[in-house]
A and B are shown apart, each in its own frame.
Chain A
Amino acid sequence: MGRRCRTLEALVVLAAWCLGAAAAPATARVLRVCADPNNLPYSNAARAGFENRIIELVASEMGADVEYVWRAQRRGYVREALNGGQCDVLPGVASNLETVLTTRPYYRSSYVFVWRADRPLALSSLDDRRLGDLIIGVQMVGDDFSNTPPAHALARRGRIANVRGYMIYGDYSTDTPQAPILRAVEGGAIDVAIVWGPLAGYFSQHAMTPLALAPVEPAVDPPGLPMTFEISMGVRRSDAALRGEINRALIAATPEIQRVLNQYGVPQLSLTD
C-alpha cells in the first residue's frame, strides 16, 4: 500500500512537472508600464512608490513581468506615452479620464486639509471663515488659480491674496519633488495646505512634526466640482481586452492592494458610497 502510494505520488509529481514545463511560455509575458521615475509617493525609478507596488501585484496576477518606460508626467504624457505606443498601461489615472480606457477603480481619495497637529485648527470646510485669516497652500498645475479643484474652489470664494501656489511638478532636482507643500506646513511658512490625499498621507507619515489631516468639505463644491476622485489604470481605447485582464487582476489582488495603500497612508473613501 505504502509503495503504491509513493509510486502514485511520484507519478503525480512527474505529471505536474511535465504540465508545468509544457505550460511555461518560451519567454515571459511583459506588461509595458509608463511611470514617472521621480514622483513619490506614486512611483520612482527605485520602484518605491505605491503605484509601482500595485502594478507589480497586477502584473504578477496576470503572469507578466513589468517593463517600465520611465517618463516624467508632463503635458502630453497620455498622448505621447500611452496613445503613442511607448507603453500599454498608465497606473494612477482618474477613472473618468476620457482620452484612455480606464479600468475599474482600485481606490478613491479626496483632497484634504493638512495643518500642524499642535495648532488647534480642526478645519474641514472650504466655507470656514477662518480661511480668510490663514495662509493657505494649494497645489497648482500652472501659474493661474483655476486648475486643481481646491485652487478653483478658493478662487471662487475670493481667497487669492492669502493663497500660496505649489507646482505639482515640484522641484524635479530633488528626490521628493512634491514634498515642499507639506514641508511648508511643518516649517510654518503656511498655516494650512489643501493637498491630494495620497500625497498628504505619505508625507505626513514621514513628517518630523506631527500633521493633522481632514477631507475637504463639501465633497462636491457647488454647483458641481468634486474634491474626491476614483483612481484607475488607463489603457489605449483600442485595448479593451487588456482592460478586461487588468480588471480581473485588480479584483483578485484587492486585499494586497489595500495593504499597500494602507502602508503608504493613502486616505481612502469607500468605493461604493
Chain B
Amino acid sequence: MSEFTISERHENDICILELHGMLDAHTTNSLEDAFKRNISKGYIKIIVNLKYLEYITSAGLGVFMEFIEEIRENKGDILFCCYSQKIYKIFDLLGFPVIFQFFDEENDAIKFFQE
C-alpha cells in the first residue's frame, strides 16, 4: 500500500493538487503544507484531483474543512475532480457534496473557475 504524495501544477491563477496514495492522519501534514504554501502565494482557486488517491480518512477530509472558509472569504474555492466511487463514497458519507462541488473531469473544474 503506497504512501502519500502530491503533484502540484498551476494553470494561470488555478492551482491543481493531484493526490496520490494514502491520505491518513499521519500524511495530512503535506496536504496542509500544500494548501498553506499556495494560499500564501495568492492561489485561492484550487482543484483537488482525486484520480490517484487510493484512500482517505476523516483527518484528510478535515484538511479541506480547515481551509475552505479562508479561501471562500477571498472569493476562491476548492473543487474536486476525477474521483473513484470508493473514494467518493467516503466524501458522501460525511455530506461533503453538500458544501463542495465535484466534477468528473479536471477540465470541467478548470472551466468552472474560468467562467
- Are chains A and B native binding partners rather than an unrelated pairing? no
